[in-house]
Chains A and B, each alone.
Chain A
């Protein structure tokens, strides 16, 4: 029995353990906080890479908590989608908190720094748990931890907007959690199981007896996870929450947290509910139309913003639409595109938020109209921002292009070119709000604080360079990640 066999659970538990150690370390050995946090997430990263290697070489496997076999014990399902998601979460999470170690010092009071690391580690643990778990109730627990930790890393800033935004988020997210709990109860009522595999086996048998219960549970899942993933029109909390939070929080919330709920949704739709049920209600079409509206309206809202972080937040609403578009189209390429976009968007949006954070850190301004000429005085964050902007528009050799390419091909595969047109229109809309910023940044004359920015600490620059090279690397060599993504899509569609 070696330790690597327990990596699935350790990836979560180590993070939880360090989360609770943080306040203690803060009082006792302040300088240990940062290395301990980085070390814990680094461990999870190694664990997820190891699991990825295992899955890619020997195939998906199950991990039983305490060797209790289901349906009594809780299971973790380590499949292609799960390892893909844990890898995304740990890589991006590590880079973001490495950046945060410097940025947070100026955004937060010193005595809450330890609590921030606690909340951040809890958030990471809950996200990893959510994508690994194979149990409905366990998933609900992680959803709750995730929601509370997210509220925590927003409201920790103690400004009026942050508290207000966090409260709004808390209320809406509680409604979402209520829906989820009710949905889980309904499933449990008709099947008597909570384990995904057992529920999936039981549902086709009871579908004729209790069709309404099952449909309502699906609707409740859609609403509950939709609120949390900010799927249009359930997105109202997102712009305030993501724009007022400290920049590393925004990066991780926009880049990772909303995607995790999308992954939970994918697992439920493709692995738990029987395909015949999807024929009973136009659920996939509803998701498609919500995604389409999200893409178009999110981009339109983003165009009129003057606050850099608010614009990025609205853009996230549009981008989560792409993920759900891939989920709803039910074709292999589209699902690949959607899943791939989870990863690509995690990289580019966290990079955009972090470069916005760096600009705010160095100049103190967050108004887009004040950022003239910033490309000359602050080249690294501005170039990173421009790269992110190009990726959002979907210019080739950035990773954004690849996910759009697969989504577009997918929509043609199923004979619905309308959605390919939606992707194109949204690319143009993205161009309308991102490119003027880039132009302004490089061709204006710097004034005021923009002309003499504070120097950026090494941690911020390194994080931005890492994420920026990721955007190019996965744009030119998408096969690095496509292997696991296409396996995930195939196994979800039952083609493997």
Chain B
């Protein structure tokens, strides 16, 4: 029997173990092994896409713990989107990291945990019930802690402490919601129509409160304001960590958890009946605007990207709170689009940091001369995030706007437009000063950054364009499938 989610989780665990066995100096074998494991994981995950598109779903229960608790996996559309996205970006990030980390210390520890984190992310993606999701969610926090404190400076340790406290508080909230909902509703198994519908009548208040507890729990990782403050501090980690974990894996795990809670535990009908989504929409709108304003004030490149992440993650949740099919299509496709665009931005930032040492925005004047291609990729990705055609970001924004009209809440569309304006206020000056200001930078000799960093960035930029132009052949079919299941 072919149980792909099981192997997708197992392979990185074993791989991480193998990497830990190699010596610190054995860079060649370690890098090759890390790339191989991420490619292997992707090739295990990829076949699930055609499978779910035909409407088939694989289910697999690993352990029945007791009562209603079990560790179970299921291959279904939303999980597949997340799994394929994460495992694909993992390949590029690992290649990028082999270049970025070549002069860093503790490379063995770094790659061990970097690959282990892939396993936890696959676990989150393929969880069939809230309990399994919670387990992998907690493990992801534990596994990524060593990556956050990698520098082992005082700043890194304090960021790490903040990170782990936020993560455990978030885990505790999720756990509170977990056992309360298990006590009320009985089942924790995800279903596209929700599982709480029958229990609402008796426990209306408790179920409403638990909604916010669960959202606050996952909202910590999704960097929902005001629970976001770990994310900018965690930028002290090496850039491959910031790129992959803080733009894709960890924060998207939070958003993924929010979607699971909203649509697979509560269900659209229950949410409409409780009316909790509107309150969440207000919080998320504020989060988007405030994060964008704060991003303008940042003087460090990575901090600006971090605040931009907070805003962009808000789009996804906002799309979900509209409770309209278009809004949800926009939200889910933004998981993919934001991941692609933001990882390019972080890769560019990492290349700039390693090649020129510039970390602050004012050091980047005229850097377009030294790193023309990198800044070109950066410019494309940032205008993609603003929502300009034909890059991939416009797809999600278009659907989000349509969704807000479809749901009869045009005010949310207004929030999105304001945020787009703010996005351009904090991205365009970077591009302008990079190209049109005199700086102390010279033309590069040969390739502007090591090939292991340059080519992943380039390929992903091409993806950003392709996913934008051919959205109807890439992201949208499966996203549509998810949304049709939910809104039946």
Contacts and interface: CB of A to CB of B under 8 A. Distances in A.
A412 B152 contact: no
A421 B65 CA distance: 23
Contacts of A478: 65-66
Interface residues of A, number: 27
Contacts of B138: 395-396
B52 interface: no
B485 interface: no
Contacts of B51: none
A420 B176 contact: yes
B164 interface: yes
Interface residues of B, number: 28
A225 B419 CA distance: 64
A413 interface: yes
Interface string A385-403: 0000000010111000010
Q: Which of B146, B161, B168 has the most chain A CB atoms inside 10 A of its CB?
A: B168
Interface in A390-443: 393, 395-397, 402, 405, 408-409, 412-413, 417, 420-421, 424, 427-428, 431, 435-436, 439, 442-443
Contact of B179 (A408, A436, A443, A479): A408
A428 B169 CA distance: 7
B183 to A, nearest CB: 4
Contact of B135 (A397, A417, A428, A436): A397
A482 B65 CA distance: 10
Given A408-B179, A412-B183, A476 B169 contact: no
Given A409-B182, A417-B180, A427 B65 contact: no
Interface in B123-149: 131, 134-135, 138, 142, 145-146, 149
B213 to A, nearest CB: 10
Contact of B65 (A402, A417, A442): A402
A428 B172 CA distance: 7
A412 B66 contact: no
A132 B245 CA distance: 55
B447 interface: no
Contacts of B134: 396
Nearest to B161: A436
Nearest to A486: B66
A477 interface: yes
Contacts of B172: 424, 427-428
A396 B149 CA distance: 24
Contacts of A431: 168
A443 B152 contact: yes
Nearest to A435: B164
A408 B160 CA distance: 30
Interface of B: 63-67, 69, 131, 134-135, 138, 142, 145-146, 149, 152, 160-161, 164, 168-169, 172, 175-176, 179-180, 182-183, 206
15 contacts: A396-B138, A409-B179, A417-B180, A417-B206, A424-B172, A427-B172, A428-B169, A428-B172, A436-B161, A439-B145, A439-B164, A476-B63, A477-B63, A479-B65, A479-B66
Given A442-B146, A478-B65, 19 more contacts: A395-B138, A395-B142, A396-B131, A396-B134, A409-B182, A412-B179, A412-B180, A420-B179, A420-B180, A421-B176, A424-B172, A424-B175, A427-B172, A428-B169, A476-B63, A477-B63, A477-B65, A478-B66, A479-B65
